[in-house]
Homo-oligomer: A and B are copies of this chain.
Amino acid sequence: MAEPISLVDALSTTRAIRRYTDAPIPDADLNQIMWLATRAPSGSNRQGFRFVVLRDGPNAARARELISEGAKRAWGNKRVKDQYDSGSGKRVDSPKARMARTMDHFVEHMHEAPVIVLACVKIHRPQMLGVGGSVWPAVQNLLLAARALGYGGVITGFHGPREPELRELLHLPPPESVAIAATIPLGRPQGNHGPVRRRPMAELVYEDTWESPAPWASDPPGTRFTQAGPPRG
């Protein structure tokens, strides 16, 4: 690591990282990543977030298999549903085809990531969007903290297809009391972080009324845009 990354740079250049080197994440780094994740805000500061970290413990091998199966099934379904193999997806050099190849590689290998984190949350009220406010900020902190120490990861929902088996294996409380929000592989990136692509600000930030673009809002010169992006889970 060269000098510490500034907050502003980190917020604008923390990418989804889907390829990792074989480098492990040392205990001290993992500790700092998880500690910073848990500094996030949560509803009434109840800290309902709970992280189950998979490395090489007794359950990890089987959990990694289940997540791998979930990944392949989730991506297989998405590939069909989002028509990755039709339209521009048929052209081998199209963004769609490239993303499909990235995802093929990702679901084949993500279970081998040095660390996989299940981000869970205690369900303290029936409104699940609100419950999410007690875990997703911590997930974002986790990804930014990983970035700060030279790692990267990506939010996935790959626990989904094999969630009952994972819950049983890892002794999670029942779904009505604890939810799994995300499955996040972490490792040293192959490739680099860098500017992310988003829609133009006028589509995302309104002033005073819905869909009324804020007059003071503009993307900095050189910003690159996207209308549709990579699947993440």
Q: Mark A35-51, 1 if CB is under 8 A from B, else 0.
A: 11011110111110111
Q: What chain B residues lie within 8 Å of A178 (beta carbons)?
A: 210
Question: Do A49 and B204 have beta carbons less than 8 Å apart?
Answer: yes
Q: What chain B residues lie within 8 Å of A35 (beta carbons)?
A: 12, 201, 217, 219-220
Bound-state Cα–Cα, A199 to B35, Å: 11
Q: What chain B residues lie within 8 Å of A172 (beta carbons)?
A: 210
Bound-state Cα–Cα, A196 to B41, Å: 9
Q: Is A10 an interface residue (CB 8 A)?
A: yes
Q: Is A76 an interface residue (CB 8 A)?
A: no
Cβ < 8 Å to B, chain A residues 211-233: 211, 214, 216-220, 226, 228-233
Q: Is A52 an interface residue (CB 8 A)?
A: yes
Q: Mark A48-61, 1 if CB is under 8 A from B, else 0.
A: 01111111011110
| A44-B229, A129-B128, A201-B34 given; A209·B6 CB < 8 A | no
Bound-state Cα–Cα, A42 to B214, Å: 22
Q: Is A67 an interface residue (CB 8 A)?
A: no
Bound-state Cα–Cα, A41 to B86, Å: 26
Cβ < 8 Å to B, chain A residues 89-117: none
Bound-state Cα–Cα, A45 to B59, Å: 31
Q: Choose from B50, B129, B173, B230 the contact partner of A44 (Cβ within 8 Å).
A: B230
Q: List 30 A-B contacts (CB under 8 A).
A: A7-B148, A8-B148, A11-B144, A11-B148, A31-B201, A31-B214, A31-B216, A31-B218, A34-B205, A34-B214, A35-B219, A39-B196, A41-B232, A44-B232, A46-B228, A47-B229, A50-B206, A53-B207, A55-B207, A57-B208, A59-B208, A129-B132, A131-B132, A132-B132, A133-B182, A135-B136, A137-B155, A171-B209, A172-B210, A173-B210
